[in-house]
Amino acid sequence: MTINDMAEMPVQLPAAPKSDAEARGRYFNSGNAFNIKLPPVPPRILRDAPAQALAKNETGWVLCDLSAELDCPFPATTPLMLARYATVLAGDSLDVTLTCTASVWYVIEGTATIHVGDETATLGKGDIFLLPGGVGSRIESSETAVFWAVGNDPQLAFEKAAPMTGAEAATAFVHYPAAEIRHQLDVVYGRDANESTSGHALIFSSEATEKSRNIAPTLTLSLNTLKPQSFQPPHKHNSAALTLAVAGDPAYSMVDEEKCDWSPWATLLTPAAAKHSHHNDGDTRAEFLIVQDGGLYYHARTMGFEFY
């Protein structure tokens, strides 16, 4: 059968390769190269994973894995990020050495000790820490502890890459204690926000990434707040967002006209470029921790943040 439309043509193979290197070549055209149909990233509020982690039945991981829906050959919550929960029972330890550039962690409850290479820190409820990928890391818990974490594991898996370590590493271990976070957030919360800002939020960075103001090369982290009976206006950005509901009752988000009611420690998935807004109908301050692959888009000059 003769195919006249370029878009209907199959991949073209080398006509007469003279070497293995030539034989590996493949050819497409302007009609069929750009019509790949990938499943959309779904708006989602993930509640089952935190419930499983907070049941504290065993030490281990609970992945927020949507790879089947994304038609992705590796675990992923968005194409470039993976959210996970971890439970470490009292007296147990968990190897948290991850294959990513960096992962952002929040201590939901409990106390524990973390060993990262030759560094050690004591962790408590409300602490945040940045864990460099590829560095031998282990959490030991004196009392049962539950964590939330987001890393760029899918980004490295997509590229079949490995994290750089040692002097060439993109990030180092950073600990943000809960008391220091409260102090820094109070400083921000006490200032006025103008119309060009997206509310009162604390943005986390590190010594290695201070210039870019990100927490890791491709990841951004912010602790956002909403005053009682208030909302963040509808907006969009080209980065996807994974949001941990820290405090807020009742609170919810609207994502592409879909209402996503918050529940304690649930993970909200906001797809890239989706119109969304956050709402606090309660009488206390709402807080939500947001990890985005925003560093990637800031670097490419394509963040595309705008209010509707």
Residues 6+ apart with CB under 8 A from 10: 32
At 3, the pLDDT band (50, 70, 90 cuts) reads confident
Instruction: Please state whether beta strands 119-123 and 112-116 pair in parallel, antiparallel, or not at all (unpaired).
Output: antiparallel
CA distance readout (Å), 6 to 11, 31, 78: 11, 5, 32
Q: For all residues of the chain together, what is the average pLDDT?
A: 95
Residue type, 190: G
Residues 6+ apart with CB under 8 A from 206: 130, 171, 172, 174, 215, 216
| pLDDT exceeds 90 at position 190 | no
DSSP summary character for residue 57: -
pLDDT score of 214 = 97
Under 8 Å between Cβ of 52 and 81: no
What are the phi and psi torsion angles at 164 (to 5°)?
-85, 140
> Could you report the per-residue pLDDT of 115-133, keeping only the tens digit for each?
999 999 999 999 999 999 9
> What strands, in cross-sheet order, belong to the sheet with 286-292?
44-46, 267-270, 241-247, 286-292, 220-226, 201-204
149: exposed, middle or buried (Cβ count in 10 Å: 0-12, 13-18, 19+): buried
At 257, the pLDDT band (50, 70, 90 cuts) reads very high
> What is the Cβ-side half-sphere exposure of residue 15, based on CA atoms within 13 angstroms?
0
Fold of 44-307: Jelly Rolls (2.60.120)
Tokens of 280: 């606090």
Please tell me whether residue 153 adopts helix, strand or coil conformation: helix
Quick check: bond before 250 cis, omega within 30? yes
> Could you report the per-residue pLDDT of 56-115, keeping only the tens digit for each?
999 999 999 999 999 999 999 999 999 999 999 999 999 999 999 999 999 999 999 999
At 195, the pLDDT band (50, 70, 90 cuts) reads low
**Which helix (DSSP H) or strand (DSSP E) does residue 83 occupy?**
strand 82-88
> Could you report the per-residue pLDDT of 28-41, keeping only the tens digit for each?
999 999 988 899 99
Percentage of the chain beyond pLDDT 70 is 97
Instruction: Please state whether beta strands 93-95 and 60-63 pair in parallel, antiparallel, or not at all (unpaired).
Output: unpaired
Task: Give me the residue spans of the domains in the chain.
Answer: 44-307
Under 8 Å between Cβ of 292 and 258: no
CA distance readout (Å), 143 to 9, 94, 111, 140, 232: 61, 13, 6, 9, 37
| pLDDT exceeds 80 at position 197 | no
Under 8 Å between Cβ of 275 and 57: no
